[in-house]
Structure 1
């Protein structure tokens, strides 16, 4: 094999698990320095029905070339020899993930090796706020000013390789500040990032992290309410550049035959909606404008404005591609790797592997009507009348759900003595405005009788995408003064009088204590439901509600912890009591949720998910806070009530 002093397919420098690394390679019998000029990416182009990013893979043949080329001891970049069906005895495994400062932490030469074989895709983390500080060595007043001005804009964080849109669980280290003399540390940010541009990059990162016992995290957009895309001392895989989308006019899988779209792991909701509009179809995606589509949204279940008609996002998945903990690239669907396919449809992200694409059902274009409105307590609208109006709305939620509409609302303290109810929006797929008026008329009549005045902004659209753009506001992110929790309320809670009263009193009670409430009139779909890992609490749900507790800017961690525990243990208890046996949506709920296995997954499904987790990831390479199997781990240095990710990850 003639290489002309440049190692092409399979180019690596020699290293071993003991971290003894040669900075040279042997080419044509001659030892030369290993640099970017003579070490190329370790990859091979593979044919098949893959997205462009997926056709470039790390294969056994590529790795086999290393031995042939006198490149030995490269085990840290090899695939695992095989996945045991039974988890290894944890006594044989390291008690903690390797952490910066440890004797076994990779030195700079080893990191350079990973950089070379991934074609220069390795990034050493610089926190998004570092430009505001002298001590990080890259102070830039103009950049700092820009970061501060845009910090609530999700686009800022999406374009950053490590930034999380919920800084609280990163540990709030290196937050942008106008005081350059402050301190900026990595905190819960990962140490390094592989800016993955193809499957081979992901495979190399997975193999590297597994062999060297590093914590591994995955980031797409950073829309992460639970701190799952950050982790101190971690190697992160950034899937942002997996942007390809394929459309299939006819796709057959199992009992399904129809239109489908294949979506790369870095695609956000707006991008998949734009593609669907272009191809004349509709897909089931989230309401958030910049939420990642083919990542935690689908893996965690994924509620949608289209869910009352078609089910959750996970219900639409026909096939997926994934890199598993052994570094292998697999297809999972109803015919192959079926257990993994089952788990990755609702069983949570960052737990079983790194999904690179999903193929999902596509539906015909659908007309959609949209309404927004609000009203507030005032000198002419009493607190009592306000809540009578909310009660009238709650009473009609089963009717609205049966019609297939989606009501996105909130009850917010907008002043010292003012509460505002806002519908943002009432989203009615399959309805004209005239039909939505008819549906809304009983509610509006009841409100008029209570003396409530409000104005409606409304529009009608020929398809989903323009209605979605008109209806949903861009979300604000980056907040550090609040914590959320959530609950799914079953249909029975709105049709049984006693349960209805308990539900209404629980929600009103939280508001009366000063909490904010965000709600969704939504169902998990009309059924029949596919056999997947979606939380069974979704299947009879009529409403999902999120509670919010706030504290003052600049509060101490002790205050934040006290507020966190107040929300979990006091404010949310009536919600749980009003809906025994139900659960919540793991992606938008309490990071200190009690009995998370039942609440997030359902007890029976959790048992099966854990069994699958143990089979596909026997050494626990993948960890996600409150993910399946996460109770076998803890983060060091935690404050009770505030589970940040800025400590070492260790086994219980």
Structure 2
């Protein structure tokens, strides 16, 4: 039978290590399992509103690891309790000194100080049974983990690429499988003799449902110098949610949602949502629709909008009107590297608040919830069409028509619209670009028709015919749901890189010519381009935060993708990979000096990532990284402070492998 609150914790500790190792407790001469159903984790319950929180804490946020809990564990002489203690406020150097005993690298399986099984069992009991030992998502296709299941393997294989919704429900599966090491892929997608190992996946994951579990994980990782990673959904081009030998905090289950019809904070007075960090785009948008309001998020359905998306800035179909997703944040609740749970807002930990809004995920702490502003319900009109070469459209006509579209980018973003389009080569001298969609928030069909009329007139003058399809929607949700399908996932035959092209290039004829030619040249060479005509400097202004300054000057965010055939020689695959970084995207860098790239959709080995992803904000971000995480508890590839670390192995010669040791430079 379940037991209440702290009495459970005390009972568990009194029975001592026998209960911990056996995963049982004795109650009234009856032996019961010690798990998440019969015992509480090592927590204390606090009031739902503390002195710093700007909104009442969610229930899971009221369950915290406190100094009193740690003291209780210590007083009862529970073995290894020091592994779960908070960082010493007086001397982080003391902890760093202890870590130096481990050497320059994180602690890994096989190292003398890697936790023994009984320690992991103790950790699991204190977590309340939330520890998951990793079994890779595709392991059902192999005998390696004792769970071979042909039917399940067939399902996983058939839905590997086109069903991200399944991957996001797994504690360790990620999108950027190439950098994980490809150690457990469906065999038909790699090689007949493929094997399944954990490789670059974390060894354990904590399925976090409350703050105490996150605090325990952070403290445990810090005190043992374990590599710590954070996974929300696994959407990321840089495999930031994995790492060999790591402990992962899986925040996917933090899905509480609360709406405030009238929320007051500082200078803001209006509707707002408090959203758990595990809330995904489709859930956030459904909640907004139910309340008759609109919130800023991305187009991807299964992306965790309050996680790495928002922390990295977050561009949106609404950005030209309202700015980046990070601009909407009013406050955040976060577990920092010392294990403490704090509020970050304009008045509480303002430096941390500044850094979290655009400074990147997995860097300064583990966010548990975010309060964001909401906007009135908004109508949307969309336009779709296909521009393609064919019997009546030559390649030169195609490129001339596409250039006519490019010419209007400032006009379109100034009007608040967002164009999501793709360009590809489909044969020798044959090209296609589909508009999917031209997204016009706040506009009627007549207003959008008037905006694009000059462009369609230019198409006709060039002898290019397209069949525009307009659709009016009563609110954002309906337009979003109809136009953005579930995103693809998990391809190991692709690398992507991106660039933020500045408005200044459109104000100079020579620079615009060079920009257009650079995009055209990549497509003609076989690159696949996904692009967004989007701005992030709304007329109403935007707050001072860590969002890359390049976003405030942008009118086009473009992604180039290089693909290859895995059956070919490795030299050819490496050439295709290198072409992306050192040829195609380099052309884009050359025509946009001083601009940047969007960190969440960027080249894995972006040269000078600090400038590209953070621009002039980087020195302050690095300084704050040293203040809030002096021990390097949080690491993510190409995140703030990542230059202080290196990985021991490479993929294709120059791609750091997450299936390798992480060591200080």
Contact 2:9 2:39 in 1 (8 A): no
Contact 2:24 2:34 in 1 (8 A): no
- Give the C-alpha shift of residue 457 in structure 1: 2.9
Aligned in 2, Cα 1:555/1:349: closer, same or farther, shift over 3 Å?
farther
Contact 2:534 2:555 in 1 (8 A): yes
- Whether 1:36 aligns to 2:45 is no
- Give the C-alpha shift of residue 10 in structure 1: 6.0
**Equivalent position to 2:286, from 274, 277, 296:** 274
- Give the C-alpha shift of residue 187 in structure 1: 1.4
- Give the C-alpha shift of residue 268 in structure 1: 0.5
Partner of 2:521: 509
Partner of 1:198: 210
1:588-627 alignment runs, 5 A limit: 588-602=601-615, 604-627=616-639
Partner of 2:64: 57
Distance in 2 between residues matched to 1:462 and 1:123, nearest whole Å: 44
- Whether 1:576 aligns to 2:586 is no
Partner of 2:53: none
Contact 2:497 2:580 in 1 (8 A): yes
- Give the C-alpha shift of residue 22 in structure 1: 8.0
Distance in 1 between residues matched to 2:25 and 2:566, nearest whole Å: 60
Distance in 1 between residues matched to 2:12 and 2:90, nearest whole Å: 25
Structure 1 counterpart SS, 2:556 = strand
- Whether 1:107 aligns to 2:116 is yes
1:411-490 alignment runs, 5 A limit: 411-490=423-502
Partner of 2:183: 173
- Give the C-alpha shift of residue 70 in structure 1: 3.8
Deviations 1:33-71 (A, max 9, x none): 996178641112222211222121111122221133343
Structure 1 counterpart SS, 2:513 = helix
Distance in 2 between residues matched to 1:444 and 1:168, nearest whole Å: 42
Partner of 2:324: 312
Distance in 2 between residues matched to 1:23 and 1:149, nearest whole Å: 41
State the TM-score, normalizing by the size of structure 2: 0.92
Partner of 1:403: 415
1:103-142 alignment runs, 5 A limit: 103-142=112-151
- Whether 1:242 aligns to 2:240 is no
Aligned Cα root-mean-square deviation (Å): 2.7
Partner of 1:285: 297
- Whether 1:645 aligns to 2:658 is yes
Larger helix fraction of residues: 2
Structure 1 counterpart SS, 2:137 = coil
- Whether 1:189 aligns to 2:189 is no
- Give the C-alpha shift of residue 233 in structure 1: 0.5
- Give the C-alpha shift of residue 85 in structure 1: 8.5
1:520-535 alignment runs, 5 A limit: 520-527=532-539, 528-535=541-548
**Equivalent position to 2:573, from 546, 560, 569:** 560
Aligned in 2, Cα 1:554/1:192: closer, same or farther, shift over 3 Å?
farther
Deviations 1:340-382 (A, max 9, x none): 1000000000000000011011010111101111121123211
Distance in 2 between residues matched to 1:134 and 1:23, nearest whole Å: 29
Unmatched 5+ stretches in structure 1: none
Q: How many residues align?
A: 644
Distance in 2 between residues matched to 1:587 and 1:470, nearest whole Å: 24
Contact 1:368 1:431 in 2 (8 A): yes
Contact 2:649 2:656 in 1 (8 A): no
State the TM-score, normalizing by the size of structure 1: 0.94
Contact 1:316 1:361 in 2 (8 A): yes
Aligned in 2, Cα 1:591/1:27: closer, same or farther, shift over 3 Å?
closer
Contact 1:188 1:646 in 2 (8 A): yes
Deviations 1:518-555 (A, max 9, x none): 11000013252211000000111111111111111345
Partner of 2:598: 585
Contact 1:96 1:651 in 2 (8 A): yes
Structure 1 counterpart SS, 2:390 = coil
Aligned in 2, Cα 1:555/1:344: closer, same or farther, shift over 3 Å?
farther
Deviations 1:587-644 (A, max 9, x none): 0010111111100001x31110011111111100000100000011111121333222
Structure 2 counterpart SS, 1:505 = helix
Partner of 1:82: 89
Structure 2 counterpart SS, 1:359 = strand
Distance in 2 between residues matched to 1:156 and 1:372, nearest whole Å: 29
Structure 2 counterpart SS, 1:210 = helix
Contact 2:187 2:193 in 1 (8 A): no
Partner of 2:167: 157
